[in-house]
């Protein structure tokens, strides 16, 4: 039997989050969905263990996180979360919401550079 990647509770939370994206998440998703970025398949609000990644490409083991001002106050949580995801082989990259909203070309270029490493 295949091991589940997360708990039913976390999977339900992820499903609910997909219905209420932040403006930055909606903007980035419009660029990532449907394999629009170099044919790479991404999922949004993807549950992995006890966490929910904003965007995840399981095939290339890449997670993209978007951070708002609340992340200034939860640095330790973000560090533990990133360590957990990296322990599963994922590369985690983070962007501030402001960068996604105001500098989308730079964000996409950075993502493509990471993918090509």
Residue 89 clears pLDDT 90, i.e. is over it: yes
Q: What is the model's pLDDT at position 66?
A: 95
* Domain span at 67: 8-115
- Helix or strand run (H / E) with residue 53: strand 51-57
For residue 75, tell me if it sits in a domain: yes
- Residues 11-35 have a mean pLDDT of 94
Q: What is the model's pLDDT at position 5?
A: 83
For residue 1, tell me if it sits in a domain: no
pTM of the entire predicted model: 0.91
**Residues 52 and 13: beta-carbon distance below 8 Å:** yes
CATH of the domain at 106: 3.40.960.10
Tokens read off for 8: 């039913």
For residue 96, tell me if it sits in a domain: yes
For residue 3, tell me if it sits in a domain: no
Angle at 28 between CA 101 and CA 69, to 5 degrees: 50
- Residues 74-93 have a mean pLDDT of 92
Domain tally for the chain? 1
SS3 55: strand
Tally Cβ neighbours within 10 Å of residue 87. 9
For residue 56, tell me if it sits in a domain: yes
Q: What is the model's pLDDT at position 72?
A: 57
For residue 2, tell me if it sits in a domain: no
- Residues 19-44 have a mean pLDDT of 95
């Amino acid at each position: 039997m295949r091991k589940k990647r997360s708990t039913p509770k976390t999977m339900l939370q992820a499903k609910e989050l997909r219905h209420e994206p932040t403006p930055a998440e909606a903007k980035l998703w419009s660029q990532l969905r449907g394999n629009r970025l170099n044919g790479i398949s991404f999922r949004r609000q993807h549950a992995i263990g006890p966490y929910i990644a904003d965007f995840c490409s399981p095939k290339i083991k890449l997670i993209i996180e978007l951070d708002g001002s609340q992340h200034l106050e939860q640095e330790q949580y973000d560090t533990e979360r990133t360590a957990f995801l990296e322990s599963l082989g994922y590369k985690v990259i983070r962007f501030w919401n402001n960068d996604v909203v105001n500098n989308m070309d730079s964000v996409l270029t950075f993502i493509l550079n990471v993918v090509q490493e």
